[in-house]
Structure 1
């Protein structure tokens, strides 16, 4: 019989994987890009303006000031566009996407492997995604 793992052992291994992910090229680039963004005075000013306008937008929305809300939303869109045009911001967003993709890949790999292991352990059919108990308890029509 194979070793059974405790929840604590699995969490410890998950933390180990998290540390590995935190020490990848993608995360290192992400951290450097964020640092450069935070050091950029113009970007910081635009972000501060953006936050202020977003608060105003919430207030206008709550009080039903549709015309004022439309004007503020236009200003928000322009500032967001100005921020997004900065090359380091584009690189930051790209690296953020790459880190998210890596996390999604790890998550999907774990989920798919758990499913496959369950199917194999029950003498099922991995290609069909059916466990052995499903196969034994299902009648197939012969062609």
Structure 2
């Protein structure tokens, strides 16, 4: 039970350290900005609507209308992907992921070392 509390405390400390890290703070800020951006929300809705239309046109065999809807989807998706907030979001997401992968790999390495040391000690006894 005490060991579980130590682990939980350590995890909370690590979580707080990560939350305070500048890369994570920047990511969270741009994420919030992206979620609140009315143009992005509008584009998302337009893409969803065009996707629904394309499916309906395909269902009813309206090939030209389906092609036009697919073209519209591609145009809207390109606008979305080229939006500065989306590009910045993706950059910050990549940076945050790199940090988290580094932390995860470091923890994994330390745990594996501790297990190996424990196994070696057990086999020596």
On whether the aligned pair clears a TM of 0.5, the verdict is yes
* Helix, strand or coil at the partner of 1:123: helix
Return the structure number with greater relative CO, CA threshold 8 A, min gap 6. 2
Offset at residue 94 of structure 1 (A): 0.8
Structure 1 partner of 2:89: 92
Q: TM-score, normalised by structure 1?
A: 0.65
As a proportion of its length, which structure holds more helix? 2
Structure 1 partner of 2:8: 11
Distance 2:68 2:6 in 1: 55
Q: Which runs of 5+ in 1 are unaligned?
A: 125-131, 137-143
Offset at residue 36 of structure 1 (A): 3.1
Q: 2:48 aligns with which of 43, 46, 51?
A: 51
Distance 1:34 1:87 in 2: 12
Q: TM-score, normalised by structure 2?
A: 0.72
Q: Which 10-residue stretch deviates more, 36-45 or 110-119?
A: 36-45
Runs of 4+, deviation exceeding 6 Å: none
Deviation sequence 1:2-23 (CA, Å, 0-9, x none): xx96223212211221121111
Query: What is the root-mean-square deviation in Å for CA atoms of aligned residues?
Result: 3.4
The answer as to 2:22 corresponding to 1:25 is: yes
Distance 1:104 1:64 in 2: 47
Structure 1 partner of 2:73: 76
